[in-house]
Structure 1
Amino acid sequence: MNETTGPAAVPGMTPSAEVAGAPCWVSLMARDLTASQDFYGSVLGWDFRPGELGEGFSVALLDGAPVAGIGALARTLQVAVAWTPYFAIADADVAAGRIRERSGTVAVGPLAFTLGRGALAADRDGAVFGIWEGALIPDWQSGHRDAPAWLLLRTRNAFDAAIFYGEVLDWATERPGACDVSYENDEVVLISQGHVLARLSSGARGAAPDPVHRPRWDVHFPVADVDRTVRAAEDHGGTLLGRHTTADGRDEASVSDPDGALFTLISR
């Protein structure tokens, strides 16, 4: 199987049930795997090694540590080229059923892999995400210090989205290992063991002409120098879509790669 870029590509020891609902991986399905590797290697300094799902999949490494997956998009798979977060769950079938029951969409799977089972889905507003049941990648922890990626859901209504994801992923429940949620500056904040794992922000519009403002999971990659990284992206065929400063004073830049996949650069 090479249609999906779930976390089965990197051996792990912690089962997903122990951190149910937490982000556990990010991936990109690209039209041209080699071209995507060239772009992200040049822009973000990633190295690549083959994944365990075959020659159509690779694992991105930064200083030897796994950062993300990039896979070749199968021509028969009708999904957009996009960065996608995966969330750890205890049971892929149960989670897929909950997504459908709540008017979400399960586009692919659940599919079985060597180390677990995964599915690609979309919430009620069309934001794409994945679910993963099985072994997790060692040391990949969204939101923790030196994390390889940070997540922000740009959605129509953050509170409605929190209910959807909470019911699907067991957020704010008594389940052992479940993530908590809080509210901060009109955003829903996903927390685990005192760490902010993701934020959910209102204001996205499904019919917005600019894809930056449509509902989506916005994957943030921390970099040492946002200006320099933006220039590298533009030099290699990427496009700068916007710049702004976060509430805590960090520089951010919204970028699309040559394939049109959106992501955000954020200063460390």
Structure 2
Amino acid sequence: MSAGTADTSGEVLDLPDAPRGAPCWVSLTARDLQEAEKFYGAVLGWEFRSTSLGEHFVVALRNGKPVAGIGAVATDLQFAVVWTPYFAVPQVDDAAARIRERSATIALGPVAFASGRAVVAADRDGAVFGVWDGRLPGGWEAWHERGPVVVRLRTRDAFEAAIFYGGVLQWADGRPDGCTVSYENEEVVVRSGSSVVARLGSGAVEAAPDPVLRPHWAVQFAVDDVAHRAEAAQALGGTLISSGTSGQGEYAELRDPDGGLFTIIGRGTEGGAGPAA
């Protein structure tokens, strides 16, 4: 990955790349771009700007800086409406090979973009994730500060999932540029340095009719007022799935009007709040 990164306006920024195996971007596969902009703009306070990918794609901005992507391609690609986290890898082809070797499924790619290459995959329990090899909009450290607080895998067996993702993303391999893994409070916790970047919890049911209960990656965004933002989501046709306070802070788990799942947490919450997986 390049030492210099570029934001979507083309300005090259001398910011560090994402640590190997860490979440580096999130993207929503939506049905209607204008409706998605209206909903997430009101709930998360985002603004949007176009990209070089065409009229069906935008970048979401927080305080003028990129935090996420939205692509209105769910209908064309016959994909579910879903938030997908992307993890940084040094070589996307090698990562794709490791995914296949572990009996998971490549859903899309490798696909080349102006700034890098990506693969979208489903793990062995069906949770969708991506891998990315390339430049980042604004650099990883800046994105990590303003983007999702953490991504959280709700899966059938967290230990088994940690072995899978550890192999694919090269977690805990002893190299200083990677992520470390520990087991804390009945969750697998992934860190880059001292920052929690992902959590993996057991208890999801693979064949459950409710998508909330099936294995999936949950993306969590920090907001100043959880209750107010949850009310805004419901006023615009979203659904409140659960809310409360966990050991990691106040949270609300939501579904957007098209069914996309995401979680909002109180700003300043370390490591990501939310219901246990």
Amino acid across the alignment from 1:205: V
The code of the aligned residue for 1:241 comes to I
> In 2 relative to 1, CA 200–71 (structure 1 residues): closer, same or farther, beyond 3 Å?
same
Structure 2 letter corresponding to 1:32: D
Q: Give 1:257's aligned residue.
A: 256
2:57/2:69 contact within 8 Å kept: yes
For 2:82 and 2:184, how far apart are their aligned partners in 1?
28
Counterpart residue number, 2:104? 104
> What is the letter of the counterpart of residue 253 of structure 1?
A
Q: Following TM superposition, by how much is the alpha carbon of 1:141 offset from its aligned partner in structure 2, in angstroms?
A: 4.5
Q: 1:9 to 1:160 in 2, by over 3 A?
A: farther
Inter-partner Cα distance in structure 2 for 1:205 and 1:74: 24
For residues 137-216 of structure 1, what are the structure 2 equivalents within 5 Å?
Answer: 137-141=137-141, 146-216=146-216
Q: CA separation of 1:70/1:144 partners in 2, compared to 1, >3 Å: closer, same or farther? A: closer
Aligned-residue offset at 1:136: 1.9
Q: 1:105 to 1:179 in 2, by over 3 A?
A: same
Give 1:3's aligned residue. none
Residues of 2 paired with 1:120 and 1:200: CA distance?
A: 19
For residues 43 and 204 of structure 1, what CA distance do their matches in structure 2 show? 27
Q: TM-score, normalised by structure 1?
A: 0.90
Superposed displacement of residue 149, structure 1: 3.6
Contact between 2:243 and 2:252, CA under 8 Å: does it hold in 1? yes
Matched-pair contact (CA < 8 Å) for 1:153–1:199: yes
The CA deviation at 1:147 is: 4.4
- 1:70 paired residue number: 70
What amino acid is the match of 1:266?
Answer: I
Q: Is the 8 A contact 1:225 1:267 kept in 2?
A: yes
Given that 2:16 and 2:141 are in contact with CA atoms closer than 8 Å, whether structure 1 keeps it comes out as: no
CA distance in 1, matches of 2:143, 2:247: 16
CA deviations 1:230-250 (Å, max 9, x no partner) are: 1100111101111132213x1
**Are residue 19 (structure 1) and residue 19 (structure 2) matched?**
yes
Q: Take 2:87 and 2:256, find their aligned partners in 1: how far apart are those partners?
A: 24
Divergent runs of 4+, >3 A: 7-16, 139-149
The CA deviation at 1:71 is 0.8
Q: Does 1:218 align with 2:218?
A: yes
Q: 1:192 and 1:124, CA in 2 relative to 1: closer, same or farther beyond 3 A?
A: same
After superposition, the Cα gap between the structure-2 partners of 1:35 and 1:236, relative to the gap in structure 1 and judged at 3 Å, is: same
Q: Secondary structure at the match of 2:77?
A: coil
AA at the equivalent of 2:213 = H
RMSD of Structure 2 on Structure 1 (CA): 2.1
Cα separation, 2, equivalents of 1:172 and 1:204: 24
Q: Percent identity?
A: 57
Q: Is the 8 A contact 2:7 2:138 kept in 1?
A: no
Query: 1:39·1:236 contact (CA, 8 Å) conserved in 2?
Result: yes
Match of 1:236 in 2: 236
Partners of 1:188 and 1:107 in 2: how far apart? 26
2:32 maps to which residue?
32
**Where does the alignment leave 5 or more consecutive residues of structure 2 unmatched?**
268-277
Deviation for aligned residue 1:15: 7.6
Counterpart in the other structure of 1:246? 246
Distance 1:187 1:142, change over 3 A: farther
Shift of 1:90: 0.7
Distance change >3 Å, CA 143–CA 160, structure 1 → 2: farther
State whether residues 8 and 113 of structure 1, in contact with CA within 8 Å, keep that contact through their aligned partners in structure 2. no
- Alignment CA distance shift 1:216-1:206 (3 Å): same
| TM-aligned CA distance change 1:195 to 1:149, over 3 Å | closer
Partner secondary structure for residue 41 of structure 2 = helix
Q: Which amino acid aligns with 1:259?
A: D
Partner residue of 2:129? 129
In structure 1, list runs of 5 or more residues that go unmatched: 1-6
